[in-house]
A = this chain, B = another copy of it.
Amino acid sequence: MNFPSKLIENAVAEFASLPGIGKKTALRLVLHLLKQPKEEVEKFSFNISRMRNEIKFCKECHNISDADVCSICNNPHRKHEQICVVENLRDVIAIENTAQYSGVYHVLNGVISPIDGIGPDELNIQSLLNRVEKNEVKELIMALNPTMEGDTTIFYISKQLQNSSVKITSIARGIAFGGELEYVDEYTLARSLATRLPYEKYLVNGK
């Protein structure tokens, strides 16, 4: 695609470098911004560069944060003896949006994946073990994606903690609400049969 303006071409190239945005979409976004007042576009670019420059990572749980310790770790009303271990920030947001969890988090920043060259040392695992040792952590809830890499990571962490009294649990795998039995893969269906619950626990919130 040829552009009559170098300025437009550069701006389109920037948008097109984002995942899932092609040249045509990028051009549409640029033309949209061209129609906005200058101050709006200034605010747009300011908020984005500020986000990247000022963001911090919580030194407790490695979640992104505006301060040294994130608002979740800083909250005295949350159960600090319960840690939910997740892969990344997106999972924290997903769990927070359920409004059903009152413990704290630990963001591993990935999962063990030898094929991608990611071993335990590349992840925030040592700091998790330190947290478990130092504080009085009663439960680690593993909320990792149900993949081979996720399961390997759970296995590795549980091995490291085998002499500890901490209880390690995993979020339930089964058939999603609204899902249909006939479209579920055999493995999930088999596991959800094997890990069946008394029917009164089946209801939302266990009520």
A residues neighboring B (CB under 8 Å): 1-8, 10-11, 13-15, 17-21, 25, 27-34, 36, 38, 41-55, 63-66, 70-72, 88-90, 92-93, 96-97
Q: A51 near B30 (CB under 8 angstroms)?
A: yes
- Which 9 pairs across A and B sit closest by C-beta, in order of nearness? A45-B45, A41-B52, A11-B51, A45-B49, A7-B51, A10-B47, A14-B44, A45-B48, A14-B47
Copies of this chain in the oligomer: 2
- The answer to whether A34 and B4 have CB atoms under 8 Å apart is no
Within 8 Å CB of A89, what residues of B?
4, 31
A4 & B49 in contact (Cβ 8 Å cutoff): no
A33 touches B52 (CB 8 A): yes
Let me know if B32 and A41 touch, CB within 8 A: no
- Sample of 14 A–B contacts (CB below 8 Å): A1-B97, A4-B92, A4-B96, A5-B55, A7-B54, A11-B47, A17-B44, A18-B29, A31-B88, A31-B89, A33-B48, A34-B51, A38-B53, A45-B46
